[in-house]
Structure 1
Amino acid sequence: MLGYGTSVAVGATSASAPQFQSHGTDAGGAQGNFYRWANSVGGSTIGMFKSRGTSPGARAIVQNGDTLATVIGYGDDGVNAPPAASISIVVDGTPGVGDMPGKVKISTTSDGAAAVTDRVTVDNRGFMSMVSGSFGRSGPVTKSADFTVGDAENSIIVTKGSSCVATLPSASSWPGREILIKTTVAFTTVSASANVVPLAGGAAGTAILAATAGKWALLISDGTNWVVQMAA
């Protein structure tokens, strides 16, 4: 400990006492800086490390879902020090030698609460998901043949000169994601699987667009199927 002789615990119930603590009553005494002097584009780095090894130096690969690092802002509530917000780095997939898929989670504490709630996640594909759903955006892409919707594709123009088959992403992997599909030709566009709930509701089927140029449909994942929310 620096600047104070007593360990100060943090957390909603003061259950965690960090091993390294630096205390101060002014800005300089309560901050830490790293300096890099080099004629290069690189700057200073703060790194944190996680292993499943059970002792220092004992290497053991981490697993999908492991939290590698967390930055937390605590505030004194007069009794304890609940967190107000946090940023976490988490393994997002199966790691291997030279392969460490990751995601970043941003969490905040609601008014009246003492624990953080996940708000935004950026996964290993670069897709951003919100607590109320998911979204990702790219410019319109044109499909002149049967196609599989890519991770970053959200606005699609179909120009195939015959009925077109679209392979939609798994709805369970993309809750809240929106996909807009439009056709400029007088041929149907259908899903490769029976996972599209029509505008009028009912059972999921394969129909997306009728065989009329200019037809369009906005599909949103409900976590099980792709639901047509708007269409013309």
Structure 2
Amino acid sequence: MQELKFIGIGSAFNTKLGNTSAYIKKNSSLILIDCGGTVFHKLREINMFDGIEDIYIFVTHTHLDHVGSLGDVIFYAHYILGQKPKIFFPNKEQIVSFLINVGVTSDMYELNSNDFTKIDDIEFGEINIEFSQNTHVATMPTYGFVMSMDKEAFYYSGDSNDINNVILDRFNNGQIQWLYQDTCGLDYQGNSHLSLKKLSEKIPRELTNRVYCMHLDEHISEEIIRDKGFNVACIS
């Protein structure tokens, strides 16, 4: 499996690192994970859409640092590329309402709101996706997901202040090879993100090299993350 590359790895207020968004690109196919307010500009800046014929967008939740330019991507695909992106998000009502409110009509995209789905793509082959609800804020549903391809799997947390035991068990026994985890420096009761301290308590030291920290706030440094044995998601 190709390692995820990132458009940005910052939290909502850590603007110097950009909104957290990941992608995998292979020839004419693009997988995009979340699409915050800073993302479309960066995608255009690096010519991400050149040669792309199939666009798959996975949304973890509808905070603006994760969907703020989703409408722009759909508009660009529709008017410039002549394409209909495939959007994946388990809560149909919420994502449809959001897109209507930013002027996107249903003929501009395809929506898959299943918790479990399979994609057969000409470039990536078979991709299996399993969404699971996680804990972030009380005001909206938020999701992480496991994506499997090429006989490997990774977990992408989206924004979350925990890692559920099912995901941890699958990671510990090798069913999930990589974790991409929302990680912050601040540690306090009621935090909507997972602190590096709590992450270190959950992941055995011998497995920390298979965890990539992302959505970093301004209270954490790459040096501290690496000192704990974890990786930092890489902006490409």
TM-score normalised by the shorter chain: which range applies? Answer: under 0.3
The answer to which structure, 1 or 2, has the higher relative contact order (CA under 8 A, 6+ apart) is 2
The TM-score with structure 2 as length reference comes to 0.27
The TM-score with structure 1 as length reference comes to 0.28
Structure with the higher helix share, 1 or 2: 2
